[in-house]
Amino acid sequence: MLRPNEINALFQTQSLTLQAKAMKVLSALIQKKEFDSSAEEEKYVEEILVVLDKKCLQSSVVSEEIVRDAIGEMERQKEIENVMVDSNKKSKKKKKVKSSSENKVYEIDDEDDEDGAKKAKEEGEEPMAVDDEEDVEEEEEEEESDDEDRANQERLRNELADEAIVVCDAFAHAPRYQYDETRNVFAKINEPATMDAEADSKINVYRERFHLLRQRMSRHASFMKPAFGNLKKSKSGGGDASTSNTNELTPLRSLVGQCYGPRVVMGCLSQVEDGIFHLEDPTGSMRIDLSAAASSSGMFCENCVVIAKGEVRKEDGIFEVSELSHPPAETRRKTLEATNATDFMGAAQGGKHVALRSRDLDELKKTEMKARDERFVVISDCYLDDSKCLRRLRNIFEVYDQYEKPPGLFVFMGDFTRVPFGPTKYDFASYTKSFDQLADLLEEYPSIREECRFVFIPGPGDPGNTSAYPRPGLPAALRGHKITACLNKVQFASNPCKIRWHSQDLVFFRDDLQARARRACLRPPEDDLGTEEDDERLQLDMSPKEIERRRAMREKPLFHHLAMTLVQQSHLSPLPLSQMPIYWERDQAMWLYPAPNVIFLGDRSETQCKMTDVCGGVGTTMVNPGCFADDGSFAIYNPSEGVVDLSVVSAAEMM
């Protein structure tokens, strides 16, 4: 048997170190397996190392939990391989038996059997061969074995499909990182987050938001300073003149004093007094004048990190802004490459799942294309105490119950009662009863109840500790036990909730954010799209997809501005903490970094709508599924194709 130092030596070849408890678990497992030789034991340990390498661990120290998860994953992979091998062998054997059955030898032992055979031939029937009974028994056994194989394969497929959906709770899984300016990396904070954090944590909220956008913007082509590419010799031959088209950011501290001429700065917008704005960065603060500034698409609210172009006025030292914009967004692949697969979302969950790496995206997309029949149903504002909503849900369940494969995921976003909880509404008994009514409805549809995964996300009107975000999931005392006993796969997640499906990140957030952001705007949002006549007059060469995107933006201008703001700010709440409170040490649960594939925003201040490819090339889609209680609207997401369909349960369908 391998000794502990020999096992540790194998792990050290991968620059990993086993904890004492993990070593004890692995040694006991190897002893239990009773391998014939030490070579087989080494091979077993190497297979575990292969699984750990795929997990892209954030630490070189391997804990007991990570070892157990790796062993379980390896055993499951072997089980899948064994089932597939046995199935192939049996199919080959079945073909062989079928081909040999064409040539049969018939034997007749007595006269009665001979007469029966003659009679059968006269009637045009084939005589029963001596080996037919044995063949029939073998076929019955093979059919039973085939049914068992199909059941095993179906069970394994369901397990793999369940593993593909990873639900990340803001309180249970969201990690914390701090940007290290010296090494230009995000260092993980191992201390647990608390609700009652100290005042320094509030400062860190703005500091980490700024560093996040600052390091992302430094990779943009407009702000990357080339080493040699744009240096050209002057015609006189005496030295080099820079003809670079890139912008160079100037720290706000450098604007103090004799600093004149056009400058590009980056900072956090703040309003010290009414109508008096400042820009702040880690180096200092500067008063700015926005009266003559031209702005890009988006909502410019207090606490937003913006890029401002202008110059310092000589008479009063105020920075006069001529152009104002949000930091440019970047694609998911570029972010993953730059951050070395840092798990900002918490989908790895301590090593239970594989961290997303840029080199895995293409392979995962191939896996996604095989699940073309997968669907996710998203419903917002589903009042479970309203009979009309329950009838609409019954209609949806009846439709999907007829499908051979029902949707893999149902996401319900609150509020779950018509009257929001507050000082005048605190009937917890009726709240629990509403979930019991949903459980009674689901009892009528066993396929949906057993195969689908359900995720419930609380809304602003549901009971909770405070109105601050992120909001924890509904506790068992409020939702009752009937709904959890009814459903095989159910999770009561936080708000916001993030879900990973293979290579895709989906964000679900329930808040009336559009109205909040519009009220917090320091200046009215400006639409820089123009009209369709302008596009035709300028003869812009655009694809049909881009034309459709611009048309949707013109139809829903405020939703378009909000989507642009969220994606470019990489945050679900780029608003003042006084208007939208956030737990200081859990602010990173609100990050949209890397840029998610789809943002489902349950917002009652806007009707059902969607915005594809929000920032043009980033690949993020933002969807408002609508208010299910008002008009029966909801969204259906096809993840393999990345397409969102907006649907409605009409009054005629409920008859």
Within-domain flag for 16: yes
- Number of domains, the chain: 1
pLDDT bracket for residue 539 (50, 70, 90): low
Would you state the pLDDT for residue 106? 45
Question: Per residue in 461-517, pLDDT tens?
Answer: 999 877 899 999 999 989 989 999 999 899 999 999 999 999 999 999 999 999 999
d(CA 298, CA 325): 8
Within-domain flag for 24: yes
Would you state the pLDDT for residue 160? 52
Three-state DSSP at 603 gives coil
E strand or H helix that includes residue 167: strand 165-168
Would you state the pLDDT for residue 150? 58
d(CA 282, CA 607): 40
Length of the chain: 655
d(CA 145, CA 139): 10
Q: Is the pLDDT of residue 133 over 60?
A: no
The CATH number assigned to the domain holding 25 equals 1.10.8.60
Q: Is the pLDDT of residue 304 over 90?
A: yes
Q: Which amino acid is at 342?
A: T
| Closest C-alpha among 179, 211, 319 to residue 259 | 319
d(CA 193, CA 183): 24
Between residues 8 and 202, the one the model is more confident about: 202
Within-domain flag for 186: no
Three-state DSSP at 586 gives helix
pLDDT bracket for residue 67 (50, 70, 90): confident
pLDDT bracket for residue 57 (50, 70, 90): low
Within-domain flag for 554: no
Give me the domain span that covers residue 37: 4-75
Within-domain flag for 405: no
Question: Per residue in 68-95, pLDDT tens?
Answer: 877 877 777 777 666 666 656 555 555 5
Question: Per residue in 14-45, pLDDT tens?
Answer: 778 888 888 888 888 888 887 878 888 888 88
Within-domain flag for 59: yes
Question: Per residue in 333-378, pLDDT tens?
Answer: 999 999 887 889 988 775 566 678 888 888 899 999 999 999 999 9
pLDDT bracket for residue 60 (50, 70, 90): confident
Q: Distances from the Cα of 237 to the Cαs of 233, 234, 240, 242, 459, in angstroms?
A: 6, 5, 8, 14, 68
d(CA 655, CA 645): 24
Q: What is the DSSP letter of 521?
A: B
pLDDT bracket for residue 227 (50, 70, 90): low
Residue carrying structure tokens 């300016």: 181
Q: Is the pLDDT of residue 445 over 50?
A: yes
The mean pLDDT of the chain is 82
pTM: 0.79
Inter-residue contact 417 to 434 (CB < 8 Å): yes
Within-domain flag for 231: no
Within-domain flag for 306: no
